Amino acid sequence: MSIALAYGALDARADLTIEITQGVDNPTAIAVVPFAWQGGGAAPLDVAEVIDGDLTRSGQFAPVGRADMLSRPSTEAEVFYRDWRAIDTEYLLIGRVSVTDRMRIDYELFDVLRQTPVFEGFESGPIDEARLLGHRVADAVYEKLTGIRGAFATKLLYVSVTRVPGGKDYYRLTLADSDGARPVVLLESREPILAPAWSPDGRQIAYVSFESSRPAIYRQDLATGQREQLTNFRGLNSSPAWSPDGNTMAMVLSKDGNPDIYLMNMADRQLTRITKHYAIDTEPAWMPDGRSLLFTSDRGGKPQIYRYDLRSGATDRLTFEGNYNARARVAQDGRNVVLVHQQEGKFHIALLDLVTNRLHILTSTELDESPSIAPNGSMVLYATKQADRGILAAVSVDGGVKFRLPAREGDVREPAWSPYLAR
């Protein structure tokens, strides 16, 4: 069996780069000055670059180029506001990086227009987690300036495929930082891997692998790499989705004749069937309160999104616009639902507002799929095609910000954005 648990192996082939294609109309000008390195030798990482990249990618900030900086302060005493007003900077972030047995990043944010410090803070952690510390600083700055919790110190799962025309492709399940950096291949196989999903605590993942020549759902612990096959039923074994409390996994099985949604109790592995329809019922997604599930069904003839209430057992249809709405994912606010919507033969990512019941199309490319929403609800990561290759792309929930994460090699697909991760 050509399958490998390549745990901890860095794989440059799965590396993603970032191309920002659209930002907000009036992004906030922020200067992230290179942080002063207070250790010996060369700094192991340009932390300011990581922070700058995070803020830029949000689309809400316009970075000030280093070449334009008239001074490079690292303490409040070195800050001359006129240097920053002169280049139309609104906010200024400075910092210092020191190392003992751990790395420590001290940072300060200034309001250039009001000529006043906004706040200061620090992050510390293992030296080899320098990038993570940078993402945490970006999270703090983002939250201070937007009022929205930052989601840069999170992770992505995705599947990358190296084509072997006429033969069996290579499939890799990869874990990376939210900016695509530091990719780690978790699983490699010559058989398809799909539907990666996170446990609510971010410690475990589930996915579908065809390594046994049939689809089966696996659960894998990220810290230990230990994994376990959860299902091995005749027919479909797909769409694993952990409940918000982590005690239950929704999944799709066709063992009883056609695809239906089942719930697996993670303590005793008992199954409960919750849809019993001769149509296709698939792609379960939990509402954040855990009381209902959204799913795709073609019981009305074409795939549409339905909601199943776990207490009453009632099912109601949520989408009515167009003849193809599928694979819903719900934001933590329980209001914004992202899904795949077909319009004039093209598949776009759309946002359904459960309060107004309005559908907004967010993307303009043709083969968009697998939307995954950031834990802070700000951005939607999805898979699309560019020049016949699968790539990842992101769009803000208001459609105003767009960026792409093309891979250096192969096709990339099925992104899954992690929940907030414990420190």
Partner 1 sequence: MKHLSVAGKAVTLLFTAALLVACSGSDTREADEAAARAAADAAARSAQDAAAAEAAAEAAANQQRLDEAAAAVGNVFYFDFDSSTLKPEAISALNAHIAALQGNNRNVRLEGHTDERGTREYNMALGERRGNSVRDYMVANGIASYRIEVVSYGEERPIAYGSGESNWSQNRRVELK
For 22-25, the CB contacts below 8 A with 24+ separation are: 22/59, 22/400, 22/401, 22/402, 22/403, 23/59, 23/60, 23/62, 23/400, 23/401, 24/59, 24/60, 24/400, 24/401, 25/400
Q: Which tokens belong to 15?
A: 């590396």
Minimum CB distance to partner 1, residue 259 (Å)? 4
Minimum CB distance to partner 1, residue 224 (Å)? 28
* C-beta closer to partner 1: residue 186 or 280: 280
The CA distance from 64 to 55, in Å, is 11
Per DSSP, the three-state class of 278 is coil
For helices 130-146 and 47-57, angle between their N-to-C axes, nearest 10 degrees: 40
Minimum CB distance to partner 1, residue 264 (Å)? 17
* C-beta closer to partner 1: residue 33 or 351: 351
* C-beta closer to partner 1: residue 147 or 165: 165
Minimum CB distance to partner 1, residue 103 (Å)? 40
Which of 243, 267, 239, 241 lies closest to 253, judged by CA? 239
The CA distance from 196 to 269, in Å, is 20
Q: How far is CA 293 from the centre of its chain?
A: 20
Q: Which tokens belong to 189?
A: 């196989």
* C-beta closer to partner 1: residue 301 or 313: 301
Return phi, psi of residue 13, to 5°.
-65, -25
3-class SS string, 357-369:
CEEEECCCCCECE
Minimum CB distance to partner 1, residue 236 (Å)? 6
* C-beta closer to partner 1: residue 278 or 422: 278
Question: What is the layout of strands, in order, in the sheet containing 216-221?
Answer: 193-198, 204-209, 216-221, 227-229
Minimum CB distance to partner 1, residue 282 (Å)? 5
Residue ranges in contact with partner 1 by CB under 8 A: 163, 165, 169, 192, 194-195, 210, 213-215, 234-236, 238-239, 252, 254, 258-259, 280, 282-283, 296, 298, 303, 324, 326-327, 340, 342, 347, 366-367, 369-370, 385, 388, 413-414
* C-beta closer to partner 1: residue 81 or 324: 324
- Cβ-in-10-Å burial (0-12, 13-18, 19+) of 10 comes to exposed
* C-beta closer to partner 1: residue 130 or 161: 161
Per DSSP, the three-state class of 192 is coil
* C-beta closer to partner 1: residue 63 or 215: 215
The CA distance from 309 to 361, in Å, is 27
